[in-house]
Amino acid sequence: DTEVTQTPKHLVMGMTNKKSLKCEQHMGHRAMYWYKQKAKKPPELMFVYSYEKLSINESVPSRFSPECPNSSLLNLHLHALQPEDSALYLCASSQPVGAADQETQYFGPGTRLLVL
């Protein structure tokens, strides 16, 4: 099973709202990632969690706040977003370092976010 699930599938929010995106995997992966993908562009890395600790933050604005409450879940909390933050937000996960297939990231279907 190589499934990563994301909820919600679609989200519309105003600039003053607070919302959260959720990502879940049950493959025993210990690295989880958030990417942002604008239309007709490749995904761009936002955050990396390794063993539930934030290891990479690609200079993402503080209105995006990641959280990894346990080894299976990854959240992205959103607050005071701007219309230019509208995009597809993709979650991915991979095996821990040293494990077989550690280099492969498996992606979820994404959450399509529209900020009005």
Beta bridge partners of 24: 5, 73
Is the CB of 2 or the CB of 82 nearer to other proteins? 2
- Taking the CA atoms of residue 11, residue 13, residue 17 and residue 21 in that order, the dihedral angle to the nearest 10 degrees is 20
Among 28, 38, 61, 97, binds other proteins (CB under 8 A): 97
Residues numbered 14-53 forming contacts with other proteins, rule: CB under 8 A: 31, 33, 35, 40-43, 45, 48-50
* Burial (Cβ within 10 Å: 0-12, 13-18, ≥19) of residue 50: middle
Q: Does 66 bind other proteins (CB under 8 A)?
A: no
Q: Does 57 bind other proteins (CB under 8 A)?
A: no
